[in-house]
Structure 1
Amino acid sequence: MASYLYLLAVFLLFNTAATFTVSSKLILEDGYEVTTVIEGHKLKINPHAVLPRPGSSDLIVLDSSSSVFYSISFPLSNESVPERLSGDGVAGHSDGEAGGARFNKPKSFAVDAKGNIYVADKNNHAIRKIDASGKVTTIAGGNSNKTGHHDGPAQDATFSDDFEVVFVPERCVLLVSDHGSQLVRLINLKAEDCVMGSHSGEVAGVNCVICILLFVNSPDS
């Protein structure tokens, strides 16, 4: 019996090893360099995600563990000093002025061309917006603090507890990668949230066709 169990163990070991065998092919490209420019332990922040803010020299840093957003100006160095952008360091769901706003372990964020920040507020199952003045509002998921995958009017929508957001400037929309529900969701933003012309490709194309027709049919052509 002991020998049988031994053989069974060896069989399972080799089969498990074979299952997890990964082949790889490396093509190493030289010419790049890695430099540390933000040391979170010194600044007492935990950088979870970073993005540049369009139209400024600022970098937006999300400290998810503290539910706080920071702003750090370029050029970046170990001497850079972060400034609190939004969130008071206490987990919660509170809109309003930046200093008193509360988030709950945001997963990710996106920034549009006007500097508005869209927050995937993970534990609140909501999408929040920090506008250029610092005011915080809830734009989706505000009516239900629970998980789900309900579509419809944004405030009635529900999200899983694992989702991220991406801004698509050409369409003036947010895409929500809802990992927990295995879905990609779409939120149409308001016109004032986007730069004029950022999602008007079709209209511009029609205008160009009209211009060409007018030129061809003009008396001087």
Structure 2
Amino acid sequence: MHYFDFHYSWEQRKVTEIGKIYIGLVTTMTKHYTDEGTLLIRNSDIKDGKFEFGDNPIYLEKTFAEKNETRMHQIGDVITVHTGDVGTSAVITENEAKSIGFATIVTRPNPKIIDSNYLCSFLNTDKHKKWAVSISTGDGRTNYNLGDYFELVVPVPSIAEQKKIASYIQKLNRLITLHQRKPVVVNSSSTMNALPNQHLYFQVLE
């Protein structure tokens, strides 16, 4: 898990100002399931910074998917859990391009304003997830409503800073995986050396 303390000078912008946002399909799709076709992304497939589909990913029939072409994901889209582990997010890569989400929150970042991997990293912080849980609704299942997500404020440094931060966090995540998720602590001095002049402090724990 990541903990960010963002520098006071960074611009603060509502998520609605940094890209296009929409909700994935919310309709009965079971009858359109197939063994091949258009990949379906469910909330349970979204993990911290990645997708995990298991041994049997679900696909949608070509004709049904084509009727919903406007909902297809593009590379760089950030997909966020709407129901369940709310706030958890991952970025669409070539492997998931043109997939369709089922009741997921989709953010298509404006690349002139925000980097997809940086936004994803921020959405996966404890700070954001705790906020998402605090405003979520639902009986038995936690729901992150789109209207509440619209109120999210995102710290926005320069694109160059965003890319450095996202790259550093991705490297730390890989390090944790290689060490089988043994506790890793990154102190402020090592972070500052890796990101000169970036007032970013975070700690990575199991």
Which structure has more RCO (C-alpha within 8 Å, separation ≥ 6)?
2
Query: What TM-score results when the alignment is normalised by the length of structure 2?
Result: 0.27
Larger radius of gyration: 1
When you count strand as a share of all residues, which structure comes out higher?
Answer: 1
Q: Which is helix-richer, 1 or 2?
A: 2
